[in-house]
Amino acid sequence: MPRPAAHAPDRFIAIVGEIVGSEWSPPSVPNWPVNFTRTAADRALTVYPDRKNSRIIFTTASLAAPDRRCHAKYTPDLAGHDDIDSWLADGDLDAVADALGVVARRLIDQPLPEPGAPHLDPVGREMEQLAKHAQELARLSAQFAAGLIRGEPVADKASRIRALAEQTEQTATRVDELRGLATDQTAGRS
């Protein structure tokens, strides 16, 4: 008999707890969103299902300044499940633990944005960040192309472009979420 979606956080908390380790305190109440904290590092890790887009959203933030945060997502294969809740309740979470671990560790290792002047418009703030990412991607891409032409090593630049492209995708996802736009184009990707 399938377990109700309300119990899904218990299984997910166990998987994420193994990923982040004992330095992180698990949530005291197993409800969505799931919140892990690491007081010594001034960090919180929040995980919750995005039911509209059938994916898992990961957010890391400063405990002291929660507006300093970064986002990541994981889109599972829901084959055999009606929705993200049934996948969380009955899916083989152990089979995707490595992939979830990569997403969580990359996010945790990512530095949080520097505090700035408060921005009253969250969409505007994320759009500014998106514009900065686009400018940096253009600069790195030009350097990459120049290195190719000159016959220089380009692997490091390609790696930096890939990492920045992932951050750009996360920021773009956040912009779409804040605007309330569906992002069906990302379904099936993680």
Residue ranges covered by each domain of the chain? 5-109, 122-186
Contact 133, 167 (CB under 8 A): yes
What are the beta bridge partners of residue 71?
59
Residue ranges with strand state E in the chain:
34-38, 43-50, 55-62, 69-74
pTM score > 0.75 for this model? no
Work out the angle between the directed axes of helices 8-20 and 97-109 (0-180°, nearest 10): 60
Q: Mind listing the pLDDT tens digit of every residue in the chain (190 residues)?
A: 344 444 568 888 898 999 999 899 988 888 888 899 999 889 999 999 988 889 999 999 988 887 788 889 999 999 899 999 999 988 888 889 999 999 998 988 888 887 765 556 777 778 888 888 888 888 888 888 888 888 888 888 888 888 888 888 888 887 887 777 654 444 444 4
3-state secondary structure at position 53: coil
3-state secondary structure at position 25: strand
